[in-house]
Each structure stands twice: as C-alpha cells, then as structure tokens.
C-alpha cells in the first residue's frame, strides 16, 4: 500500500504537518524546569460538579505552587472538550468559570466567556481544532499507523455478538481488525466514491521495541506485555498494553476523547494530567498513542472517585447526579456555603496530612499548605456533608462579621431577592452575626447562608413569626401577666444584671422558682421556674424558645421593636 497516496486520498485539504504545529506551539518556558502546566477539560454540559472542583483544586494547587528555577510560574488553563456536540449547553463555559471562580479557582489561560480564549496555545475549544487533529491523523496514515474502517453498525454488532458468545474481549483487534486493515487502496477509493461512511482507527501494535520514553516501562508476565508508569497519585500502575484498534477520528471528522487528549495535552504542553479515575482504564490506549506519535508523556494523576455513605443502606457508594444534590456545585452557591469552608473541607479529603497541618497552623492562609499528590488517597474519597458543615462552623467563626454580612447580602441578592433589601443594613446585620462569637466558648450555629438567614430571621419584622407555644407550666393568664409586668418595668438602658433582676422579681411575685433547681426539688411548691418565665419572654421577642442571650438580642433589636413585640403578644 502506498500510504502517502492513501493519506492524500483521505485528507486532500490538510496541508500542515505535525512539524508545523510543533513550531507554532513550542515547549513552554520553564516547563522542563519545575513549572507545572495543568488544565481542566470539562465538556460543556452546563453541569459542573464536586468532582470537577476536586480535580480543579488539584490542578490549581499544582500549577500555582510551582515555579521554574528562574521564577517562571506554572500555568493552569481551561480547555473546553466539546467534541460531542450533542452535549453542548448554551452558557456552559460561563458556568464553569463562574462556578470555579466562586471557589477562588482562576485560570491563567484558555477558554473564556468573551470568545475563543486567551493564550498562545489555543484554540481552547476542541471543536475549533479539527484541522490540527486531522494533520496528525494524516501523518499517522502516512506512517501506516492508522487506517480507514468502513464497518457498518450491523457488522460491528455482529462482531460484538460473536465475541460475547465466545466470551472474548469485545472491540476491534486481532482477527476482527483484519478485514479493515487489509483493504486495498482501490477498495478504499471505491468505498469513498460510493459515499460509504468510515472512521479512522489506530493500527495497534506493540510499542515496546520502539519506545523512546523513560517514563514508560514494559514488563512481560505470562506472555502478556504490561505497560508500567508512575502515577502522581497512585504510584506504580501496571496494565496490559493496548491491542485495540480504537477509533481516533469519528465519521464526522471529529476526534475521540483518546486522540484529542493526546494531541491537545502534547501541543498545549501539559506536564500533569489530573483526571478522574474513570479514565485509568484507557491509559494503555493513551500510552500507545503517545509512543506512536513520539510525544513525551505527561505525568498522570488519576484522582479517586468521590463516594458517600448511602443514608438508606449505610454502604459506601459513588455520588450520584440523580440522588445527591450536593454533587452539583450550584448546590453550594444556592445554599450559601462560604467558599472558604468548601475549600477547607475539600483539602481535608484531598490530603491526608491537611487536618494535622491546620491544627498546627490555625490562622494560616489555606494557600500556605504544601499540597502534594502523594498524600492523596487513591481509594474512593469519602464526602460527608455533615463534616463540611462542622468545618463551616469553624471557618465562619474566623471571618469578621462585616465580611460575613457582605457575603450574606450577596447571597440573598441572588438567591433570596425578597429578603435582600432587609440585609442592606450592614450595621444591623453585622451586629446580629457577631452575637456570641467573642465569648470564651464562641457560638457555632452559623453554617451556611440559607440556614443563617432562617436562624436570624426574627430580627426582621417581615419574617418574624411566633413559631412556638408557651411552656405548659405557664397558664395563658400568667403569660399575659408576665409580659405586662415585663413591659411595665422595661428599661432599654438597663444593663444585663439589672435586666435579669427584674425578671427574677416577676418570677418570684407570680409564684415561680427563681432557681430552677428549687423547682426541680420541690415541684409542688412552684408553678414553674425562671426558665419558663424567660421562655415566655423569648417567645414574645424572638418567636422561639431557643436563641442567643435575650438581653443582647434586645439591644440589637432596639427599644421600639421590643416593646412592639411584647405588646403584640399581650
């Protein structure tokens, strides 16, 4: 077969060669000397999930922690993997950038919302890279490393059935590839002239003898050749070498993931490929492609799948888009989790030594932690919303009330617009949020914006409702009397002990025990205790029986509101 002639037949319009592209995209300065180049390659489905954030976090840290000996920093770029156009959703790129930006993850280069992207290694949308892929495929055809395959859907499914019946591996390899591999130039030409559709397949063969890479080793076990590489997270990974003639270019001229990955990560000069564990299985294919194309292979970092404990079965399982709203990154924005809390939590599941570091450096900036892929778990990472909430309580304590007030307002502006105007009074809101945070044992009941808003909503008349009933120890008559006396003696300028003294007086006068333990000992002698009397007041002022310190709350609410609410309940 004259492969040059075949290449011209298949790609007459492609005139650039791999060498041209090597010149257009030269090696990046510093990349062979310590600067780490990473990328995120989401498909534009409009759904961005915790796994993406998890991976992006690794990418971002690796790139931004690194620099070359001359100080050149690493680069983290965004590439949109939109070769599967069925999955394209309008505005998806913006969603990726915005969702990750919320967690302070920023790209240095690549696809952006305005147009085709910024940087010297574009285009950053795979759909714009057609001619590049085709130039490399054309070259592989010339070298006899790839071939056109005209097998129809029916033929493919007949092969599959035969393989399944024989309990063989499915796919096109060995004798199943013979028919297409042995087509003559004339047959191919006549197929094309009759308009038959075809794909381009890799002509798989052992790369062991021709290997030029010091990052790939080959081992033979029981007559099977294994490829061995060092994964950044998993360490040594050994897998049987590929023997499948996988599709590299689909019938519509668009590459498969395998081919696009290898071409793009080579030409964009990625040094570390961080991707989900689900791609580990195809690693032998990628190794063969890197070897055949003569490209230096990047360091792979296959991250563990995010798991959770299923509430019903108690078993570990993968997070699911259908069952687990917390898989979507939008969930955290909508609920109003503070990005710092989510980041802090992610680091605890990402690096096994993070919690220890945090305990030793409670005040340190999160970016000061030296993140390493070696400390990442390769077994499923366990995601636990309760743990995130616990961490969030601590993280929020470290954020000044004014900042938290801004955060609450921004959240409300987007996700609770009817409440946003109320939160515009930042002074009022800051005081509310600061309640009890400077005590010896600070309060830890602020977790995420939606929960915080519910928690503090009684400070706002529009949201104030009486949510609980007065305690059964207090009759309706007594309740009225308690509130009347409270209102009569109320002086907004009382300090906390003056204020409490008045409550004790009311308590004793109406036949309740001033000390709760007296009531416990002799319940027959009292109607109830000071706790019940205070609860009546709490319910009048806050609408609920549980709340931070009443005196402090009243100081924030202001005299008019307090008097209003008490009168209302009377």
Which residues would be at the binding site for ligand GLU (CB under 6 A)?
A: 41-43, 81, 261, 275, 279
Q: Which helix (H) or strand (E) holds 199?
A: strand 199-202
Please identify, using beta-carbon distances, which residue of 295 and 519 lies nearer to ligand GLU: 295
Name 487's Cβ contacts closer than 8 Å, sequence gap at least 6.
Answer: 563, 566, 567, 570
Least distance (Å) between residue 277 CB and ligand GLU:
11
The conformation of residue 462, written as its DSSP 8-state character, comes to G
Please report where in the chains the tokens 């050749």 appear, as a residue.
225
Dist CA 210 CA 247 (whole Å): 22
Nearer to ligand GLU, 272 or 538 (CB): 272
Smallest gap from Cβ 387 to ligand GLU, in A, equals: 26
Nearest approach in angstroms of CB 64 to ligand GLU is 18
What does each C-alpha distance from 45 to 51, 82, 326, 354 come to in angstroms?
14, 9, 18, 32
Distance CA 92, CA 100 (A): 12
User: Cβ of residue 42: shortest distance to ligand GLU, in angstroms?
Assistant: 5
Q: How far is the CB of 83 from ligand GLU (least distance, A)?
A: 9
Q: Which long-range contacts (CB under 8 A, 24 or more apart) does 456-462 make?
A: 456/432, 458/542, 458/543, 458/544, 458/547, 459/428, 459/432, 459/553, 459/556, 459/557, 460/419, 460/422, 461/561, 462/419, 462/422
H or E segment to which residue 382 belongs: strand 381-382
Instruction: Work out how close the CB of 259 gets to ligand GLU at its nearest, in angstroms, rounded to a whole number.
Output: 12
Nearer to ligand GLU by Cβ, of 234 and 261: the residue is 261
- Closest CB to ligand GLU among 84 and 355? 84
Least Å distance, CB 371 to ligand GLU, is 18
**81 versus 288: smaller Cβ distance to ligand GLU:** 81
Q: How far is the CB of 43 from ligand GLU (least distance, A)?
A: 5
**Nearer of residues 261 and 338 to ligand GLU, judged by Cβ:** 261
Label the pairing between strands 247-249 and 199-202: antiparallel
Q: DSSP E strands: which ranges in 59-187? A: 75-78, 109-110, 146-149
The helix/strand/coil state of 78 is strand
Do the Cβ atoms of 289 and 365 come closer than 8 Å? no
Residue 335's H or E segment, with its range, is helix 329-335
Q: Minimal CA–CA distance to 48: which of 82, 85, 99? A: 99
Q: How far is the CB of 270 from ligand GLU (least distance, A)?
A: 9
Which of 297, 341 has the CB closer to ligand GLU? 297
Distance CA 52, CA 262 (A): 20
Please say which residue, 81 or 109, places its beta carbon nearer to ligand GLU: 81
For ligand GLU, give the closer residue by CB, 262 or 470.
262
Q: Residue 473: which residues within 8 A CB-CB, separation 6 or more?
A: 512, 527, 528, 529, 532
């Amino acid at each position: 077969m004259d492969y040059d002639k075949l290449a011209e037949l298949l790609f007459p319009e492609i005139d650039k060669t791999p060498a041209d592209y090597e010149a257009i995209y030269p090696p990046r300065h510093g990349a062979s000397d310590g600067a780490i180049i990473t990328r995120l390659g989401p498909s534009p489905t409009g759904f961005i999930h915790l796994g993406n954030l998890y991976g992006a976090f690794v990418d971002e840290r690796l790139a931004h922690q690194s620099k070359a000996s001359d100080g050149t920093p690493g680069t983290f770029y965004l590439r949109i993997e939109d070769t599967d156009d069925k999955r394209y959703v309008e505005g998806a790129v913006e969603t990726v950038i915005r969702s990750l930006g919320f967690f302070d993850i920023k790209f240095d280069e690549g696809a952006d919302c305005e147009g085709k992207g910024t940087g010297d290694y574009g285009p950053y949308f795979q759909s714009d890279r057609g001619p590049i892929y085709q130039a490399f495929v054309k070259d592989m055809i010339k070298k006899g490393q790839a071939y056109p395959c005209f097998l129809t859907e029916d033929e493919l499914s007949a092969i599959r059935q035969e393989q399944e019946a024989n309990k063989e591996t499915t796919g096109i390899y060995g004798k199943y590839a013979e028919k297409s591999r042995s087509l003559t130039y004339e047959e191919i030409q006549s197929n094309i002239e009759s308009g038959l559709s075809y794909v381009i397949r890799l002509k798989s063969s052992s790369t062991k003898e021709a290997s030029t890479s010091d990052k790939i080793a080959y081992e033979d076990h029981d007559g099977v050749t294994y490829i061995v590489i060092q994964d950044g997270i998993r360490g040594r990974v050994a897998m049987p070498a590929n023997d499948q003639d996988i599709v590299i270019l689909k019938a519509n001229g668009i590459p498969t993931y395998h081919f696009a990955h290898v071409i793009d990560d080579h030409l964009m000069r990625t040094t570390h490929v961080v991707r989900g564990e689900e791609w580990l299985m195809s690693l032998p294919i990628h190794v063969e492609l890197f070897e055949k194309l003569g490209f230096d292979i990047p360091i792979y970092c296959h991250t563990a799948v995010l798991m959770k404990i299923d509430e019903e079965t108690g078993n570990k399982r993968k997070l699911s888009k259908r069952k687990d709203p917390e898989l979507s990154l939008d969930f955290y924005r909508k609920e109003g989790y503070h990005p710092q809390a989510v980041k802090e939590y992610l680091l605890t599941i990402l690096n096994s030594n993070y919690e220890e570091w945090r305990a030793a450096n409670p005040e340190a900036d999160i970016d000061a932690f030296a993140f390493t892929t070696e400390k990442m778990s390769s077994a499923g990472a366990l995601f636990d919303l309760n743990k995130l909430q616990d961490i969030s309580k601590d993280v929020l304590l470290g954020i000044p009330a004014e900042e938290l007030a801004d955060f609450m307002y921004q959240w409300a502006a987007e996700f609770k617009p009817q409440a946003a105007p109320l939160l515009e009074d930042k002074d009022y809101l800051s005081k509310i949020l600061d309640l009890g945070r400077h005590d010896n044992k600070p309060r830890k009941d602020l977790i995420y914006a939606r929960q915080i808003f519910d928690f503090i909503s009684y400070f706002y008349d529009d949201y104030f409702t009486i949510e609980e009933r007065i305690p059964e120890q207090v009759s309706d008559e007594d309740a009225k009397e308690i509130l009347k006396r409270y209102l009569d003696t109320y002086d907004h300028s009382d300090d906390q002990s003056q204020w409490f003294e008045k409550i004790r007086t009311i308590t004793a006068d109406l036949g309740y025990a001033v000390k709760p333990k007296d009531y416990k000992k002799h319940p027959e002698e009292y109607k109830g205790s000071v706790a019940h009397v205070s609860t009546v007041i709490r319910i009048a002022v806050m609408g609920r029986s549980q709340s931070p310190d009443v005196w402090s709350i009243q100081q924030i609410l202001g005299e008019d509101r307090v008097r209003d609410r008490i009168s209302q309940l009377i």
